[in-house]
Structure 1
Amino acid sequence: MEELFEKIKEAYDIVEVVSNYVRLKKVGRNFVGICPFHSEKTPSFVVSPEKQIFKCFGCGEAGDVVNFYMKVNGLTFKEALLELAEKAGIYIEEKVFSEKKRENELVGLAYKVAKFYNHLLFFHPGAEEAREYFKERGLSEDTIKQFLLGFAPQEGRVLTSYLRTSKEDFKAAEELGLIRQVQDGSFVDLFRFRVIFPVFNLKGECVGFAGRTLLKEDEPKYLNTPESKIYKKSEILYGLYQAKEYIKKEKTCFLVEGYFDFLSLWEAGIRNVVATCGTALTTSHVKILKGLTEEIILLYDGDEAGKKAMVRAVSLFIKEGILPKCVSLPEGEDPDSFVRKGSLDRAYFMEKIKELTQDGVSFVVACYQEMFRQNSSKAYREIIEVFQGIEDPILRKKIAKELSFRLDLPETEILRSLTTRGRSDKTRVFIPSCDNNSTETKEDSCLKMIAQYLVSYPEDLGILEEAGLLKYLEGCFSKYALFLKKLTEGLKKEPGKLPDISDPEFQTILSDLLFSPSFENREEVLNDIKTFIHKSLIKLELKKLAENIKNLETIGAKEEKDQCLCLLKTTLISKIDGLNRIDKLTK
């Protein structure tokens, strides 16, 4: 894949590729245009033909030609590579080619099965109950045909018989989870007496299925086909293929949780809507939607479970720089029942929804204050954890201001809490009136400076290695630390040359750093970095000694403890003296 990635970067000019999607204007050495990833009036999207990268200074999206093609078309990294390779006529390894061929076979079979179940819905003698069920749910024939909704009869081998008659690949059907082998060696269908919902990816290919039971007995209401080579639930949103152009046009997207929630809204003329496919919302879902719009309206069930799911969704969106709106439906209502109450009338629905919509901050605060009425400190902790990890300083400031107003607390205290990261470490959330300080942000900014320096002057890796950079990075796991580890690894293989690493996260950070302003005084920055590394290693050494003393105290080893204390004192004097000398030299 790495070799293919490099060939694609050589084959394409990023300006030509981007020009197919964005109207670019030459300004100096770069090209600028309106960003395709967020709404803006003033161009902040920059393409560098010299560096073959793009960067939006509005939303922060950045990367190379593969990253751009992937994001603008809503593809996975692998899909983007294969499509670009095919267009450029680049040879694809036999292994990769055979994988792609198999995926095409699975997609082809899935579509045939979807058509088969759709045909059964209209023509099978036992499908009357299914047709009546869809009618009761308010779905028209046009909607049923558009989404290829279907019916699986009560008999357990209808699909199996179809596959045998059509001479289809049983192994492929088994791989998709549509059939399974039983003890006697024969095959049976997954779906029995269920209405069927085919699931399509962003390219309109059928990749999976869900089935809702028509029986009143105690059995799973919904059955979903498992994940496969072509079906990754964390990357698929139900209805996105049909809705994507409406979302772009409306610049807003309703996000719901159920298939019928989606279909009822669609039937009512609300086309800028998508649903998760039998799974919780993921970061991948959020990133896909972020590429289409910046305004998300969460529309979940009105019960406690729905509210909790919305709070979690707010947290996921906020980490990607989007503050969604939340609709608080009445208790016992879901989007499907709510829209059908208004006789599937779009105008009525939009008017009512407007009354029930609030911004994400207000919704989260209201939820946790109600949940922890007797424990305001606990409520504060939970609220802060939802909004931690915001990279965008402007959005973070906006959230802090809103929380300050809602919680009647100083904005500065809230900002300090939001800057601290990590859900697992409860003590790192600042409770108002506690005098705590965090050095994590300072460390992150120093790591970013080191990364920017090495990107600008890769030939200086040896100097930073001598200063102890690699040893320091061993205990660091922030995004810039992980970036530096990959960067130094690549620079060791090819000294002085920035590595071609296909990881999208690496490419995004690299592009961001390449667009950063250059250092005014290279020597001064290098000295600052060396001092930071040296000080950090000393602190680490002293921390280890202190931990040893604590352990010795626990086991009551007085003699060893005294020796350790003596060593700590000697080391401390030596290190402080060394730091003072460094400070004098660097001033």
Structure 2
Amino acid sequence: MPRRVISQLVATSTMSFEELYSEIKSRFNILDLVSQYVKLKRVGKNYVGLCPFHSERTPSFTVSPDKGIFKCFGCGVAGDVITFYMKIKGLDFKQALLDLAERCGISVDESLFAQKRKEKTLAELNYKVARFYHAQLLRSEEAEKARAYLKERGISEETIREFMLGFAPSNGRILSSLLRVDAKEIKQAEELGLIRRVEDGGYIDLFRDRVMIPIFNEAGECVGFAGRTLDPKSEPKYLNSPDSHIFKKSEILYGLFHTKKQIKQKGKAYIVEGYFDLLTLWQAGLDNVVATCGTALTERHVAKLKNLAEDITLLFDGDEAGRKATLRAISLFIAQGILPNCVVLPYGEDPDSFFRSKGKVEGPSDAILASFTFNALEFIQKEYQEKVLSKPKSAFEELVELFRPCRDPFLKKKLISFLANLFDIPSQEVAKALSTGFERDEVSDEYRETVEEGLCSHPYRIIAQYLVNYPKEAQTLKEAGLLEILDDSSPYTEFIKTLLSAYDSGVDPQEILDPLFQEIYSDLFFSPPFEDERSAFEQILHFIVKEKARLKIERIKECLEKGEVSFEKGNIEQYLYQIKHTLRLKSCKIT
């Protein structure tokens, strides 16, 4: 028997999860796997072909067999062999591992997926609670007010049953009574945030006297809840389950389990911000819609939708907040190479109220939105029409920041042309303003910015790429205070922390079990190298010094504003000295 076959047969449950991940990566040649889905042509050390994740005419999808990674320079998708399989098959990370293990003959003991079993147990408990809430809504006398509320909002019994809507009784100890026979379930309910311990040693329910909306993931598992108050004076109006092992608001899209099939069939998706927006639209026949779960749209939401549909329409509230949310969402989609459509509802309307005001819809449900729908650039032009005339500099700066995340070369050219026409300025000036100085400038190498300019616009991306390419300097940057200045709002912050931790532990970054990490790592690896490594290092170091100084000034100002220091002469002199010293640090230049 060949030696390789023997090794396949003996690779069993004795492997750790990390060993399984490494074994699968070693068994699968990324070139062989990708070639099953993409026609590749050799160019130097790499292979290129048409991207399977977006439409293109010129090949921009690149595979590096030496590093075992891929990247599309068109849409930005990147990763390793497992990431590719996840995306091409539409699987989550663990299911992709199981599939690939089976394909190469590795027998996997389910004990390796103990976390997955725990998640399943938690989801089953949520589902048990959801059934209880649902039964309460359908049968209990106390739920009459909830039934009346749903009727008033036009929610039919069919929709109630389809989405398993429920009612949480006002008795704050109902769940602990329901679960008290099983101490393990009590502990799990506490972990899920369904109940919390109180001073008398008992438990109180999180959701009380609320219409309950169970939230299902793509696999149909109940991962969390949203509760809508029935008391007009009660706050908050909506209460969501806290984040847990199975519920991440930044990742979950409400309704996707019910509408995923229609979204994929139509190649089109609508995004709304409210639970009842989705329910009303679904009820009206718009069956390719999803909603965020009590949070703003995130990069992970966008990445998930991008794999399901190319045609995305933002359908937010018709007020100032809705307009701002639309602009922010446009920027997120542009970063993924997508230019979405935008529905501009009449002021004061939201998707729920708008569709309810139309009564029964004849014909295609989305037909009534046609006259309110614009592509993103039309929407932006409409929103900025007055500001372009009254405050052109401010408007230009805002739109440059909105478009700056774009990496798709074709889309970037379109955005440059749009801004050049809108502000009547040369395309070259727009290209220069949009360039990050870090990525390859798809418009023209002539307008490539310096690292210093890039640090002003996307500092953490530049730092992340530097760390990927020059790990030997990681400790120096840490000692300079890199971890102290990281901004939690940057998508690269978590990546940098994980990468530094891997370097400290002697772990190969390519062995880190996180698809998002691998996607960013591959993207940065394929980015153009720094022309002057030492100069880049010094400018990054200078940026860290300046940021530490800026944050120190902010802390001093905050202390003064909060009155946390007395205004005696000695204290004032001390704080003035600190500010003066900090400002001197900000102005000093490393050479």
What does residue 451 of structure 2 align with?
Answer: 440
- Residue 104 (str. 1) matches residue 120 (str. 2): yes
What does residue 302 of structure 1 align with?
Answer: 318
Instruction: Check conservation: 1:401, 1:411, Cα contact below 8 A.
Output: yes
Q: Which moved more, 1:31-40 or 1:198-207?
A: 31-40
1:210 to 214, 217, 226: 226
| SS across alignment from 1:317 | helix
Instruction: Check conservation: 1:389, 1:419, Cα contact below 8 A.
Output: no
CA drift of 1:242 comes to: 1.8
2:242 to 218, 223, 226: 226
Alignment of 1:62-141 (within 5 A): 62-72=78-88, 77=93, 80-81=96-97, 89=106, 97-141=113-157
Instruction: Check conservation: 1:23, 1:33, Cα contact below 8 A.
Output: no
CA distance in 1: counterparts of 2:215 and 2:326, whole angstroms: 23
Instruction: Check conservation: 1:74, 1:202, Cα contact below 8 A.
Output: no
CA distance in 2: counterparts of 1:180 and 1:540, whole angstroms: 46
What does residue 263 of structure 2 align with?
Answer: 247
Q: Summarize the Cα distance change of 1:121–1:13 in structure 2 as closer, same or farther, 3 Å threshold.
A: farther
- Residue 263 (str. 1) matches residue 274 (str. 2): no
| SS across alignment from 1:310 | helix
Q: Which moved more, 1:532-541 or 1:129-138?
A: 532-541
- Residue 197 (str. 1) matches residue 213 (str. 2): yes
1:7 to 10, 20, 23: 23
Q: Summarize the Cα distance change of 1:107–1:14 in structure 2 as closer, same or farther, 3 Å threshold.
A: farther
Deviations 1:505-547 (A, max 9, x none): 6644675699999xxxxxxx9xx96xx3466679999999xxx
Deviations 1:397-420 (A, max 9, x none): 111111222233322222211114
CA drift of 1:222 comes to: 0.8
| SS across alignment from 2:342 | strand
| SS across alignment from 1:243 | helix
Q: Summarize the Cα distance change of 1:243–1:380 in structure 2 as closer, same or farther, 3 Å threshold.
A: same
| SS across alignment from 2:250 | helix
CA drift of 1:290 comes to: 1.4
Instruction: Give, as a single letter, the amino acid of the residue that structure 2 aligns with 1:341.
Output: S
CA drift of 1:128 comes to: 2.7
Instruction: Check conservation: 1:270, 1:346, Cα contact below 8 A.
Output: no
CA drift of 1:111 comes to: 1.2
Instruction: Check conservation: 2:75, 2:407, Cα contact below 8 A.
Output: no
| SS across alignment from 2:263 | helix
Instruction: Check conservation: 2:312, 2:341, Cα contact below 8 A.
Output: yes
Deviations 1:22-62 (A, max 9, x none): 75668789999875533468987677888755555653423
CA distance in 2: counterparts of 1:52 and 1:28, whole angstroms: 15
- Residue 402 (str. 1) matches residue 413 (str. 2): no
Q: CA RMSD in A?
A: 4.9
Q: Summarize the Cα distance change of 1:33–1:121 in structure 2 as closer, same or farther, 3 Å threshold.
A: farther
2:203 to 187, 199, 205: 187
CA distance in 2: counterparts of 1:309 and 1:474, whole angstroms: 38
| SS across alignment from 1:185 | coil
Instruction: Check conservation: 1:111, 1:205, Cα contact below 8 A.
Output: yes
Instruction: Check conservation: 1:160, 1:188, Cα contact below 8 A.
Output: yes
Deviations 1:305-349 (A, max 9, x none): 111111111111112221211111111100011112222526475
Q: Which moved more, 1:191-200 or 1:374-383?
A: 374-383
Q: Summarize the Cα distance change of 1:469–1:18 in structure 2 as closer, same or farther, 3 Å threshold.
A: closer
Deviations 1:255-295 (A, max 9, x none): 10000111111111111111000011111111111121222
Instruction: Check conservation: 1:365, 1:383, Cα contact below 8 A.
Output: no
What does residue 561 of structure 1 align with?
Answer: none
Instruction: Give, as a single letter, the amino acid of the residue that structure 1 aligns with 2:331.
Output: S
Alignment length, in residue pairs?
508
Structure 1: stretches of 5+ with no match in the other structure: 423-435, 518-524, 545-554, 556-567, 573-587
Instruction: Check conservation: 1:369, 1:376, Cα contact below 8 A.
Output: no
1:280 to 293, 296, 308: 296
What does residue 431 of structure 2 align with?
Answer: 415
| SS across alignment from 1:59 | coil
Alignment of 1:369-408 (within 5 A): 369-370=385-386, 374-408=390-424
CA distance in 1: counterparts of 2:542 and 2:324, whole angstroms: 44
- Percent identity between matched residues is 49
Larger Rg: 1
Instruction: Give, as a single letter, the amino acid of the residue that structure 1 aligns with 2:284.
Output: A
What does residue 178 of structure 1 align with?
Answer: 194
- Residue 164 (str. 1) matches residue 180 (str. 2): yes
Q: Summarize the Cα distance change of 1:77–1:541 in structure 2 as closer, same or farther, 3 Å threshold.
A: closer
Q: Summarize the Cα distance change of 1:396–1:10 in structure 2 as closer, same or farther, 3 Å threshold.
A: same
| SS across alignment from 1:254 | strand
